[in-house]
Chains A and B, each alone.
Chain A
Amino acid sequence: MVKSPKSNKKGGKAVKVNNTVAVNENLDLIYTLISSDGEQFQADGHSLKLSKVLSLAAKCLQSTETTIHVEKVKGDTLKRVLEWCENHKDDGPYVSKCGPGLRLPHWDFRWLKSLDNQQLFDLITATNDLQMKQLMDYSCKTVANMAKGKSPEQLRQIFGILTDEEEAELALNEPGPSNAN
C-alpha cells in the first residue's frame, strides 16, 4: 500500500450527534464561519448542508452560539466554497456518479474554469476536508478534463510537476545537514 501524508478530516466521524434534536431545526439560521487566517463569512444552514463536516459542526453548537471555526481552510478558498454553496443550496439530493462519465452543469463548468490551477487544487483539498462530495466530484472532473489527451510531458507542464531527474537535482542542492558548511 502506498504510504501518504494523510489529510485530517475535520470533526466528522469523531463527533456524536444528539438524536433527540429535531431534524429541520436551524436551517434558516445564519452562521458565522471563520477561516484559518481569520476571515469571517456568513452562511445559512441550507448552504452548510452541502458539507458534511460543516453541517455536523453546526448541529453540535451550543444553543446560543453561531460561530464555526474552519481551521483547515484559508479565507479565499472558503469564500469560493461558500459562493458555490450559495448557488447550490436549493438543489435536491446529489447522487455521485463516479468516473469519467460525469457531466458538469453549466454554471459549475464556467465557474470552475475561471479558477487558476492553485485555486482549483486548494478547492479540492478543502472539499476533501469539509466532505463535500458534489463539489469534489465537479472539481476533480475539471482537473481530469484538463489532463485529457495530454502527453506526460504536457501534464508535467500544466501541473507544475518536476521530472524525477529534476527533483533529484533539487534535493541534492537543498541546504540541509549533509551539505551544511
Chain B
Amino acid sequence: MSSDETEKTPAELLSLPNEVLCYLFTFIPPHDAITKIPLVCKRFSLIIKDAKFWSTRIRNEQSVRMPQCELRHPDYSPQKSFYMIHQQNQRWKDWESQRIITAPGHMATVDSVMLFSKNEKLFCLSGSRDRSIRLWDIQNVGSGENSEENKWTVAQNDTAHSGWIWNVSRNEDSEKFYTTSWDSTVKEWSIPDGGALQELNSVNLGSAVQCVSTSGSSNEVVCTTFARRTAVIDTRSFKIVADHQLHKKAVIGLAVQGDKIFTSSEDRMMMMVDRRMMSKAVLFEYCPKSYKTSLSLQRHQLLTSTSDGKVKLYDANNFNVVQSYTVTGILGY
C-alpha cells in the first residue's frame, strides 16, 4: 500500500463494526492493547477505555468471576484486573520448570520466611526452630555458588531467641523487624546497611507467641499467643497497651488492616475486633467442622486456609463466604 497512490483510498480498518474490532483486539497481546492501541485514534481509545470490554474478557477468556466485594470497591478497574490475571497466568503456566535453589544454613525446621526489598535489592529473612534468624541476599543466591565473594547469608543471629522462632514480620515504613518465639517474647530488630542484625527491644507476653502483624497503626504491632491472647504492643515503649482473650484456645491466625484485627483459633472461631474496643467481637464465625489455620487480608477480602483442606475466601466486611476450594492435605502458611 503506497502513499503516492493518492486516488486510491487507503484500506479501511475503521470500516469494520465495533464488535469486530473488539474481537480483533483480543488477539493483540494485552500490554500492546492497553498502551498502544488507544493512541492510534479516538475510536480505538473509546473501545479500550470501555470497562465492559475488559469485564467481558475476564468472564469469557479468563473464566473468572469476581466477588461482589471486589467489583464494588472504588478502585476496581477491569482493565487492570485483566492485565494482572494475564500476568499471573503467564507466570505460573510452567511453574514446574522454574528454577529451584536449596539454600542450606539453618539446622532445623524453618517456620517462617519473609521476602522484602530494600534499595532495589531483594532479601529474605528466615526464622527457624534452631533459634536463629538469617538474612539472605536473593540476588547472590541466584547468581552462583555460596562463597566469600558471593555470600548467600549476609547477616545472622544464632541466639536470636531461646526457643523456636514462629514468625517474622517487617514494618515497611520504619524498616524494623519483629520476631515471635516459643520463648514468649516478641523482639524488635533493625538491620543497618552492611551491618549485623541488631536487637532493639523485647517484651514478654506470658506464653509462646505465634503470629505478628505490622499492618495496623503505625506505632503498633499486634501479636497472638498460645494462651489465647491477642495483644497490641506500642513500639515506642515496647509495652502491651491493649489485648483481648476472646478465644478459647491458641490463636494461630492473624490479619490486621488499620483498626480491624482478624484472628482465628483452634477453638474453631474466627473473629474481628476493632482496635479501639478490644473487648467485643464485631464479626464472628464459628465453624464446627474445622478451624482456620491461616489468614490473609487484602482489600476487604479475607483468604483463609482451613484444617480440613479448604481455601475459603470471605468478604471481610461481613464474613460471607465468597468462594471455597478444596485442596488435598492440611495447609499451613
Residues of A participating in the B interface, judged by any CB pair closer than 8 Å: 1-2, 4-7, 98-100, 102, 116-118, 120-121, 124-125, 128, 136-137, 140-141, 143-144, 147-152, 155-164, 167
Contact = CB atoms under 8 A, between A and B. Distances in A.
A159 B11 contact: yes
A164 B40 CA distance: 9
B259 interface: no
B23 A136 contact: yes
A1 B50 CA distance: 7
B10 to A, nearest CB: 3
A120 B16 CA distance: 11
A124 B36 contact: no
Nearest to B13: A159
A22 B216 CA distance: 70
B40 A125 contact: no
Given A1-B50, A152-B40, A117 B1 contact: yes
Query: Which of A1, A137, A144, A148 gathers most chain B CB within 10 Å?
Result: A144
B13 A121 contact: yes
Interface in B1-53: 1, 3, 9-20, 23-24, 26-30, 32, 36-37, 39-42, 46-47, 50, 52-53
Nearest to B24: A140
Contact of A118 (B12, B36, B50, B53): B12
Contacts of B19: 4, 6-7, 128
A1 B30 CA distance: 20
A121 B20 CA distance: 10
A124 B20 contact: yes
Interface residues of B, number: 35
A7 B1 contact: no
B61 interface: yes
Given A7-B17, A128-B20, A160 B11 contact: yes
A102 B50 contact: no
Interface string B201-233: 000000000000000000000000000000000
Contacts of B37: 152, 155
B18 A4 contact: yes
A64 B310 CA distance: 63
Contacts of B29: 100, 148
B16 A144 contact: no
Interface in B97-136: none
A3 to B, nearest CB: 8
Nearest to B61: A98
6 contacts: A118-B12, A121-B15, A128-B19, A147-B32, A149-B32, A152-B37
B11 A121 contact: yes
Contacts of A116: 1, 11
A140 B50 contact: no
Contacts of B15: 121, 125
Contacts of B42: 164, 167
Nearest to B38: A152
A157 B40 CA distance: 10
A2 B47 CA distance: 7
Given A4-B17, A125-B20, A163 B41 contact: yes
Contacts of B16: 121, 124-125
Given A144-B27, A147-B28, A151-B36, A128 B17 contact: yes
A111 B66 CA distance: 41
Contacts of A167: 41-42
A114 B247 CA distance: 73
